[in-house]
Chain A
Amino acid sequence: MDLEASIITADMTRQDRRVSGIAFAIMVAVIAIAPFFAYPFFVMQAMCFALFACAFNLLIGYANLLSLGHAMFFGLASYVCAHAAKVWGLEPVSAIVVGVAASAVLGFITGALAIRSAGIYFAMITVAFSQMVFFVCVEAPFTHGEDGIQAVPQGRALGFIDLSNPWILYCFVAAVFLFGFLVVQRAVNSPFGEILKAIRENEPRAVSLGYRALQYKLAAFVLSAVIAGLAGATKALVVQNASLTDVSFPTSGEVVLMTLVGGMGTFYGPVVGALIVIAMQNYLAQFGEWVTVIQGVVFVACVLAFRRGIVGELAARAKVSL
């Protein structure tokens, strides 16, 4: 697809707008009634991972950059937010902001170094950086090594929203999730997103038209790090701890799986994928390591036979963009 074509098809038609409006309404409705049918704690966790997957999808889906180290942003923000809330005694919103700022800085540094490479090199570099962040988190005193940061206080958001009340916490997490989701959607549907897609389709041509491809890719990388950080920081408040798992390589793999299962390059794919993967972890937890094997099999099956993912497949059949 060349540049003009990508811009023309990306222009939202009235039908696209209606479909996307309906899809969003359905998602909000599902979030509203979910706690009456499922364990609210599970739904909140799923929302955090869904937002994480949306952040990852921004890179793979619209810039064709496969980051295999995205847990570094999720995990670092989770640690910093937990530390800010527990040790510095910040109220939750400020703690989240501090956590997100930390992952933004990390995103800028690693992004500036990684973005000059593409494809598999980019993937390997992100793996290496995330491993480095993992080792730093193992050694740094404030993360408390294997124990992690436990008993993170939920506190009162902005001083008056009591997050220790499970229902208020649920609404808070839902609001954060919807906010992050809309930021990603807005970014993709903006001129910035169009240029990003143009670079994905034909980088030399976009450059010849005067777009600084590297800067656009770096901006997308940092935005993705910020949203991933938002998800990680929020998760620290939900589960009231921050641990090495959040910053480890398997978490980076899981977010890839979520996006792949749901559908790369679709707005709702990562959300559906996250729900499935988190549900799989929860309901198959009794099978221990078999969960890893099943995840691997799903990975292989998706890559070989189901590359569009669930939402991607639905959207292609119904000829709409989701």
Chain B
Amino acid sequence: MTIFGHTISMSQLYGQLLIGLINGSFYALLSLGLAVIFGMLTIVNFAHGAFYMMGAFVAYFLLHGLGLNYWWALILAPLIVGAIGAIVERLFLKRLAGFDPLYSLLLTFGLALIIQGLFQNYFGASGMPYAIPKQLAGAYNLGFMFLPVYRGWVILASAVVCFATWLIIEKTKLGAYLRAATENPTMVRAFGINVPRMVTVTYGFGVALAAFAGVLAAPINQVRPGMGADIIAVVFAVVVIGGMGSILGSIVTGFVLGVIEGLTKVFYPEASNTVVFVIMAIVLLIRPTGLFGRAA
């Protein structure tokens, strides 16, 4: 098959599709976390990339410091990093409640600099390897291609967690309180629900999603301080394309854009880094509130 002057083999196409799906898994988890936090606190969490990186580092320390394996890390890292997020919300973000949301944005921006700077100080810029757990080593032969088990697992785990989050927010009582508190916090407080605590937990949860993505990413990409900063601009573009209003929108957009990016690598590799931003420009031209977003 020849397109745009590139000769393309089918195995290459499937390979890039798979990589696209994996990147999409990370985009979906990260933009979902951003959407959850935005919904409740109406702030953009610039430190999201830093928390993603922390998730990977916590997994690394658990393995090499405490001897706790990948499966422990998958549970503990989101809890630990989420707790740190909750503390950050209580200590800093809470104080900025009545101010212009731009101040909270700048605050999380400063936090991202601090976290990334500290990690870079202690671990340098280079990456540290994190081994694939032995239960997930190897590959399936699907007939038309080899699917490394770990990569299949990442896609599956991300899809399940995204779907579960959507279920909690849209279908459970807790989710209903959450959505109600987004619309009218004062009214929800009048019903005796502790809204400030809910805000803290929500921020912690959004951060935990980022950390979960970080643990998933650790065996694929190396664990390094710059990993969050590299991915965050693309995730912002994904969020802008999907529109901030929608939980489902952020999940779908994340996966779809990952795949589009992967396909671009096959058909026109020069544009693979910029394709998401070009799509963002086009979407902004046609629908300034994003594909799934509601008018502000």
Enumerate chain A residues within 8 angstroms of B237, measured Cβ to Cβ.
124, 128, 131
Instruction: Assess whether A304 is in contact with B121, with CB atoms less than 8 Å apart.
Output: no
Whether A304 contacts B240 in the complex (CB less than 8 A), given A117-B288, A125-B280, A292-B120, comes out as no
Counting chain A CB atoms within 10 Å of each CB, the highest count among B96, B229, B284 belongs to B284
Interchain CA distance A290-B280 in the complex, whole Å? 35
Per the bound structure, the CA–CA distance linking A128 and B280 in Å amounts to 8
Name the contact of B277 in the complex, choosing from A132, A293, A296 (C-beta under 8 A). Answer: A132
| Contact call B111/A300, Cβ cutoff below 8 A | yes
A46 interface hit (Cβ, 8 Å) = no
A256 to B277, CA, bound (A): 23
Encoded as 1 (CB less than 8 Å from any B CB) or 0, chain A from 285 to 313 comes to: 00011111101111110011001000000
- Bound-state CA distance A164–B101 (Å) is 47
CB-CB contacts of A59-94 with B at 8 A, as 1s and 0s?
Answer: 000001010100000000000000000000000000
Q: Is the interface of A mostly helix, strand, loop or mixed?
A: helix
A132 to B106, CA, bound (A): 22
Q: Is the CB of A129 within 8 A of B277?
A: yes
Q: How far is the CA of A113 from the CA of B39 in the complex (A)?
A: 24
A120 near B101: Cβ-Cβ < 8 Å = yes
Query: Is B176 part of the binding interface, using a Cβ–Cβ cutoff of 8 Å?
Result: no
Contacts of B132 in A (CB 8 A): none
A249 touches B233 (CB 8 A): yes
Q: Is the CB of A125 within 8 A of B117?
A: no
The answer to whether the Cβ of A55 comes within 8 Å of any Cβ in the partner chain is no
User: Min CB distance, B269 to chain A, in Å?
Assistant: 10
B110 touches A297 (CB 8 A): yes
Q: Is B166 part of the contact surface with A, judged by Cβ < 8 Å?
A: no
B99 to chain A, nearest CB (A): 8
Give the A-B contact count at a CB cut-off of 8 A.
Answer: 121
Q: Which residue of A lies closest to B103 (CB)?
A: A303
Interface membership of chain A positions 261-286, coded 1 if the CB is closer than 8 angstroms to chain B and 0 otherwise: 00000000000000000000000000
Specify which of B95, B120, B236, B288 is in contact with A289 (CB 8 Å cutoff): B120
Contacts of B44 in A (CB 8 A): 120, 123-124
Interface size range on B against A: 35 or more
Name the CB-closest residue of B to A134. B233
| Cβ contact within 8 Å between A127 and B236 | yes
**A297-B274 contact, Cβ under 8 Å, with A125-B284, A128-B240:** no
**Candidate in B100, B117, B121, B270 with the most chain A CB atoms within 10 angstroms:** B117
Q: Given A120-B102, A249-B229, A303-B110 in contact, is the A290-B236 Cβ separation under 8 Å?
A: no
Q: Which residue of the partner chain, among A127, A295, A300, contacts B233 with CB atoms under 8 Å? A: A127
**Assuming the A-B contacts A113-B284, A293-B117, A304-B96, are A131 and B110 also in contact, with contact meaning beta carbons closer than 8 angstroms in the complex?**
no
Q: Which of B103, B111, B229, B234 contacts A296 (CB 8 A)?
A: B111
- The answer to whether A253 touches B113 (Cβ under 8 A) is yes
Check: B43 CB closer than 8 A to any chain A CB: yes
**Interface: B109 (CB within 8 A):** yes
Instruction: Pick from B95, B102, B270: contact of A304, CB below 8 A.
Output: B95
B interface SS class = helix
For residue B281, CB closer than 8 A to chain A, the reply is yes
Interface string of B217-236 (1 = CB under 8 A from A): 00000000000010001101
Q: Which residues of B contact A132 (CB under 8 A)?
A: 274, 277-278
User: Any chain B CB within 8 A of the CB of A21?
Assistant: no
Q: Does B285 contact A (CB under 8 A)?
A: yes
A179 CB to closest chain B CB (Å) equals: 30
Q: Give B226-270 as 1s and 0s: 1 = Cβ < 8 Å from A's Cβ atoms.
A: 000100011011011000100000000000000000000000001
Residues of A within 8 A of B95 (CB): 304
Residue B114, interface by CB 8 Å: yes
Q: A300-B107, A304-B95 are in contact. Are A135 and B240 (CB under 8 A)?
A: no
Partner of A299, one of B110, B115, B240, B284: B110
> Are A124 and B92 in contact (CB-based, < 8 A)?
no
CA gap between A143 and B233 in the complex, in Å: 22
Q: Is the CB of A114 within 8 A of B284?
A: yes
The A126-143 residues at the B interface (CB cut-off 8 A) are: 127-132, 135-136, 138-139
B105 at interface by CB-CB < 8 Å: yes
Pick the contact of A135: B105, B111, B115, B273 (CB < 8 A). B273
What are 28 A-B pairs at a CB distance below 8 A? A66-B106, A113-B285, A117-B288, A120-B101, A120-B105, A123-B44, A125-B284, A127-B233, A128-B233, A128-B234, A128-B277, A129-B281, A131-B277, A135-B273, A249-B229, A249-B233, A256-B106, A260-B106, A289-B120, A292-B113, A295-B117, A296-B114, A296-B117, A299-B109, A299-B110, A300-B107, A303-B106, A307-B103
